[in-house]
Amino acid sequence: MLLQMFYSIRSEPMLLEQLRYNLLFRWFVGLSMDDKIWDPSTFSKNRDRFLNGEISERFFAAVVERARADELLSNEHFTVDGTLIEAWASHKSFRPKSDDEPPTSSGGRNEGVNFRGRPRSNETHVSSTDPDARLYRKSSGAPAILGYLGHALMENRNGLIVGVKTTRATGIAEREAALELIRGVSGSNRITLGADKAYDTKDFVEALRALNVTPHVAQNTTRRRSAIDRRTVRHPGYTVSQRRRKLIEESFGWGKTIGRLRKVHFRGLDLVGDIVRWTAAAYNLIRIRNLRAAT
């Protein structure tokens, strides 16, 4: 699984083909030059064994602790953000929850695609392919897709991910997940949390202050008043946080272009959450290697 993420190998058959002749890959998985590669069914069983919350959580935590032992982590300054992950389900699978709605009469191969102008929402419709997926639009003007939200907490010194969570896609999921993630690192010492304008709400900012966390959230002054006061904005640390928080986009970009997060090929919140954790761990390993090489 890590090899697939490191080298953008999009399918298990492609990985097995690489293992036939790629000595680096064979070394990585513990196969000698003469060892026979696994049967595809054996590979699938092992993959299913590793895709459970306990193993992915332990592996991710071990990578973070390795970075901490190497003194690569900040304990004071953090950034949080979320990204929309496309589910392994099509719009055709997004159907009414009740059986009362009449079927479309268009017929043909795309029957069910014509929604006849009726509004669709997560309250009235559900994906028959992946019931945990939600119809969600990340920003104004962006298309609505069936997906999940992946959330990451980054330390600001070197841009390493120290917390990760996956949720169903809702309008409040990003802020709720951010509070849960920051609770895992907050304590008696005051820390800062950078975030974009989507987190600039009164409830979220007040919740951070209650946790002894200084909110370095980008101000959203579009048609309303920002929850971030001027004193916070004038502080030099706020400017630094706003500059450093953009590093978190690198992790999401890597996960979607190199890793396996552009469109997950697993269904269900738990399995998608495992893939997000494995991807975050893989990103950290790559970044740790690069940081060591630069010193």
Give domain limits for the chain.
73-95+116-295
> Model confidence over 230-243: pLDDT tens digits?
999 999 999 999 99
Calculate the CA dihedral of residues 280, 285, 287, 291 and round it to 10 degrees: 150
- Among 3.30.420.10, 3.30.342.10, 3.40.50.300, 3.10.290.10, name the CATH number for the domain at 73-95+116-295: 3.30.420.10
CA distance 103 to 96: 10
How far is it between the farthest Cα atoms of the chain? 67
**pLDDT category of residue 108 using cuts at 50, 70 and 90:** very low
Contacts of 78 (CB under 8 A, 6+ apart): 153, 154, 155, 156, 162, 182, 185, 191, 192, 193, 194
CA distance 156 to 133: 31
pLDDT score recorded for residue 172:
95
- Candidates 291, 280, 290; CA nearest to 59 is 280
- Give yes or no for residue 60 having a pLDDT over 70: yes
Please indicate whether residue 2 or residue 191 has the higher confidence score (pLDDT).
191
pLDDT score recorded for residue 45:
76
154 three-state secondary structure: strand
- Give yes or no for residue 139 having a pLDDT over 90: no
- Give yes or no for residue 140 having a pLDDT over 70: yes
CA distance 8 to 15: 10
- Give yes or no for residue 168 having a pLDDT over 50: yes
- Give yes or no for residue 110 having a pLDDT over 70: no
225 three-state secondary structure: coil
Average pLDDT over residues 15-25: 91
- Give yes or no for residue 111 having a pLDDT over 70: no
The pTM of this model reads 0.89
**pLDDT category of residue 256 using cuts at 50, 70 and 90:** very high
